[in-house]
Copies of this chain bind each other. A is one copy, B any other.
């Protein structure tokens, strides 16, 4: 029961399933779940017209989904219209739950989200995770996970999967942390250190942040660029509602896009990379501040106070971001750009110069830039929701357990 490492981003309802009648059934189960999930309580007839099947077919699909605890019958709808009122169906609040976890530089967090998207349990532990060996940190995380799972189970939920967001590069096996500079971890197999009774997925926090924006953001399109910064600057490219990961899984390295090709050398080997202008360290240095604990808070505080030096540093960073984003926007033609992570908190001072650069360098209407309203919770929520989406995308796999 450890095994089936569910895909983090199945770019749509149930993909590569075998094209046999059973596969068809599985896909149709998924379509019912998606319809009910997306458009609130719905009657069987409403679902049928949404997904293009007959009422009879939907009836049997719904029966199965209710039997396996993924849907709930809420009872008769309020009449309003002519004809017999339907019986409202809703995604279950007592079925599977997605367990999301985040390993931050100086905190650990875990939460449980039900199929409806509600956070039903959470736990946080503050304190630096930097530098030490991974084992004790992951042991603490495991403890938090157990606590959250117990709490969720108390509410009638059961864990369908665990997704862990880490600040670093993750191998395509979705288990191994290849490199997490801020934690000083290298080639760490989290699969060996975490509970093995729950299907596990590990991914970069920026990716989960982008997915959170995709699934939870208001009016977020299916094609956008999500930019976030912790210590490095990363972008996640979302195309047609799925993450673009790249051949080696390294896509989105916006931080090393050349901004001024003859600029200062970057540890990556390049010259004048964006990170040299808009990276946390670079901005702190330009602002004349010492790198300390809550660096983003410090910058935001000073900028809010009106500190001219800090504001200039942020304005310059926004300019560099604008230049790098011009390239990205020209290449990808996204519907919008979303600023998340630490950038969201600094947006008031970054945005003006960023948008100005983007605007004047783009022919025609510029690509709209917005700020994530999810704040620092993004990656954690994205992780938990990725498990929920996996269930919605293939309800049959969880139905098999009993």
Instruction: Return A262 CB to nearest CB of chain B, in Å.
Output: 8
> Among the listed stretches A117-125, A144-152, A182-190, A328-336, which one makes contact with chain B, having 4 or more residues with CB under 8 Å of it?
A328-336
CB of A237 within 8 A of chain B? yes
CB of A214 within 8 A of chain B? no
Once the chains bind, are B361 and A251 in contact (CB under 8 Å)? no
The complex is assembled from copies of this chain, and their number is: 2
CA distance A123 to B111 in the complex (A): 65
Q: How large is the interface on A (under 10, 10 to 19, 20 to 34, 35 or more residues)?
A: 35 or more
Residues of A contacting B: mostly? loop
Query: Which residues of chain A from 249 to 266 have a CB within 8 Å of any chain B CB?
Result: 249-254, 256-261
**Interfacial chain B residues near A221, Cβ < 8 Å:** 247
Give the contacting residue for A331; candidates B248, B328, B361, B362; CB below 8 A.
B328
A-B contact pairs, 18 of them (CB 8 A): A18-B52, A19-B28, A20-B24, A223-B247, A235-B331, A239-B239, A246-B332, A247-B334, A247-B335, A250-B333, A251-B333, A253-B331, A253-B333, A256-B326, A256-B361, A268-B361, A269-B361, A327-B331
A contact residues vs B (CB 8 Å cutoff): 18-21, 24, 27-28, 31, 52-53, 221, 223, 235, 237, 239, 244-254, 256-261, 268-271, 323-324, 326-328, 330-335, 360-363
Given contacts A221-B247, A249-B333, A260-B261, 10 further A-B contacts (CB under 8 A): A223-B246, A239-B244, A250-B333, A256-B330, A256-B361, A256-B363, A269-B360, A270-B362, A324-B327, A327-B328
